[in-house]
Chains A and B, each alone.
Chain A
Amino acid sequence: MLTLIINGQSRQVDAPEDMPLLWVLRDHLNLVGTKYGCGIAQCGVCTVHVGGKPVRSCQLAVGDVGTRAVVTIEGIGNTPNGAKVQQAWIEGAVPQCGYCQAGQIMSATALLDSNPHPDDSDIDAAMAGNLCRCGTYIRIRRAIKDAAVRSA
């Protein structure tokens, strides 16, 4: 039995240690906001925060999470930057099909956590691993900048 801290709550999970965190979130804990995309850490849709850092949950074995706190798209709105990013996302009507957007919001929030006022190249460096096949990149960039200037 593994104990994980997910969105501020302690959760017990009966899963093999080498199971990717994404499987545990979706199949064991029914936290299905985090999506499965490529399965090889190349698209970013499964991004969650682990110990405050954006991590591709399809590649992180649950046994390697340790005591690091996990935050998913279900819990990100309870963090200051997460709330600002979600608000900016809504106002900017960023999503089109929406499949990648949970990952985009997680990466964008992690960016603002480490860099409150990112410029274009900062956004590129932080967001390049999050693909959007609808091409909402321009709205994503705008929304990140909106969130950065928003008062908490």
Chain B
Amino acid sequence: MRKVIGVIGAGIFVVALGFAGWTLLGRDPMSFAGGSTVALQDYQGGAITGVPTELASADLVKRGEYLTHAADCQACHTAPNNAPFAGGFAFNMPFGTIYSTNITPDKQTGIGHYTDAQFLAVVHRGIRADGEKLYPAMPYTSYSSMTDEDALAIKAYLFTLAPVHAPAKQNQLSWPYNQRGLLALWDVVFNPDERFRPNTGQSKQWNRGAYLAESMGHCGECHTPRNLAYALDNHRKFSGALTAGWRAYNITADKNSGIGDWSDEDVYLYLSTGHANGHGGAAGPMGEAADDSLSYLLPDDVHALVTYLRSIPAQASDLPRTVTVPAPASYKEGPVATFDSRGEKIFAGACASCHDWTGVSQVNGYATLTGVRAVNDPSATNVAQTVINGVNRKTAEGKIFMPAFGEGYSDDDIATVANYVTARFGAKGAQLTGGDVANLRKQSAQQPKSQETPNG
């Protein structure tokens, strides 16, 4: 009997060890590239970290500003219609709500009293100045590969901001998630706490792109699915995930469900402007990433990101191939016969004047629905979110605006128009219900709504 228990015990141990190993392998976001890596100081291929050469001689604060944009601190550390970097943005998670904190240099409520060592501890290891653990909503597992020099440049920039007195909002988490101490265990498994290691088998440009994507821009925090422990599962790197009620799409090289069919130029444009003709424009969190972060990157850095993205192995996900053919000019034609006519009526009244019955906008390329991933996503998640929240982006080309319909239309209305839009212009019509839309509203509760009168 004892022997049997021993064998079973050993079996469980081996399985657990195997699982732990498999999980740990999923931890390194760059393991897909294979080859060997070296410590940064031993790398002979040129400068990978820091600012681009154009800014090399700029002062510390200027460099820190560039890197702060690259790391996109602002998007999460700013609540809608509030002071930038003053925190208060809500992360609505399945297990409760976490609020971002004030990272202006206010001494009482911000980070004004942080020493360099304390700042590095929070960026690399998620440990606050008072010793408490941060939740990994702060992407310190990504930032842990940022160099000390770059992190301290960011600190130098943040310390030039006007201090804002904004006390932290109380997180609302259920047990056991409210036990911050448990995160120390989580960190042992999921935070390598190791600085960026260039890959000697890859080009300098690839390595720069990797540093920008992984250590700074933390793309995977939205685009990589999470495992049961809510850590990134890099076995399915960049194959898409649901974050804050929006879908971050598959950005692997898969031709159907990823961006394998996009030209390099389209990827470049999408990253640098949040829009590429024929692929639509970024909205929601990706719109913020474009406007607050990616649009500030200098061209060489965006090209580096493109090079790195292109190297991500293709992973098929549940998304169908994007339909790139416009819908017929007449509302009577097209694959919408089986859908609720209410969706068509709402589209006629509220949408057709800009988006057209063909899906190809007369107004501008940002409003074209044909070829857009969100419209070709049969879950219609981002279509519904865009209808609810609208779009209000400030780009180099001017304001990109769509009204927020969330206040004026019921959950059922929004579900039915999202179903209609995906059926008419996309690969497969969605089957959203009013309940689904109510749920999406809750998850994105803090998305800034687009203003009512952009031209007033």
Contact = CB atoms under 8 A, between A and B. Distances in A.
B12 interface: no
Contacts of A56: 353-354, 363
A54 B331 contact: no
Contacts of B403: 40-42
Given A40-B452, A50-B362, A114-B329, A18 B353 contact: no
Contact of B354 (A18, A23, A59, A122): A59
Interface centre among A55, A59, A126 (most CB of B within 10 A): A59
Interface string A86-118: 000000000000000000000000000011000
Interface residues of B, number: 27
B398 A60 contact: no
B364 A60 contact: yes
A61 interface: yes
Interface string A30-45: 0000000001111010
B125 to A, nearest CB: 45
Interface in B343-364: 344-345, 348-350, 352-354, 356-357, 362-364
Interface of A is mostly: mixed
A128 B362 CA distance: 17
Interface of B is mostly: loop
B114 interface: no
A18 B397 contact: yes
Contact of B362 (A17, A51, A114, A121): A51
B57 interface: no
Interface string A10-32: 00000001101011000000000
A137 to B, nearest CB: 12
Nearest to A39: B455
A148 interface: no
B454 A128 contact: no
Contacts of A120: none
Interface centre among A22, A40, A60, A126 (most CB of B within 10 A): A40
Interface residues of A, number: 32
Contacts of B344: 125
A121 B332 CA distance: 9
A23 B329 CA distance: 29
Interface in B428-456: 452-456
A124 B397 CA distance: 34
Contacts of A22: 455
Contacts of B350: 42, 129
Given A53-B362, A128-B345, A129-B348, A61 B398 contact: yes
Contacts of A61: 364, 398
Nearest to A18: B398
Interface in B301-347: 329-332, 344-345
Interface centre among A23, A44, A124 (most CB of B within 10 A): A124
A72 B28 CA distance: 60
B353 A41 contact: yes
B362 A55 contact: yes
Contact of B401 (A51, A59, A126): A59
B354 A124 contact: no
A23 B345 CA distance: 30
Contact of A64 (B354, B363, B453): B363
A47 B354 CA distance: 11
A63 B396 CA distance: 13
A4 interface: no
B363 A129 contact: no
B348 A128 contact: yes
A58 interface: yes
A103 to B, nearest CB: 10
Contacts of A58: 455
A23 B455 CA distance: 9
Nearest to A40: B403
Interface of A: 17-18, 20, 22-23, 39-42, 44, 47, 50-51, 53-56, 58-61, 63-64, 114-115, 121-122, 124-126, 128-129
Given A42-B403, A55-B363, A125-B352, 5 more contacts: A40-B455, A59-B401, A64-B364, A121-B332, A129-B350
12 contacts: A18-B398, A22-B455, A39-B456, A54-B353, A55-B362, A56-B353, A59-B401, A60-B363, A114-B329, A121-B332, A122-B332, A125-B344
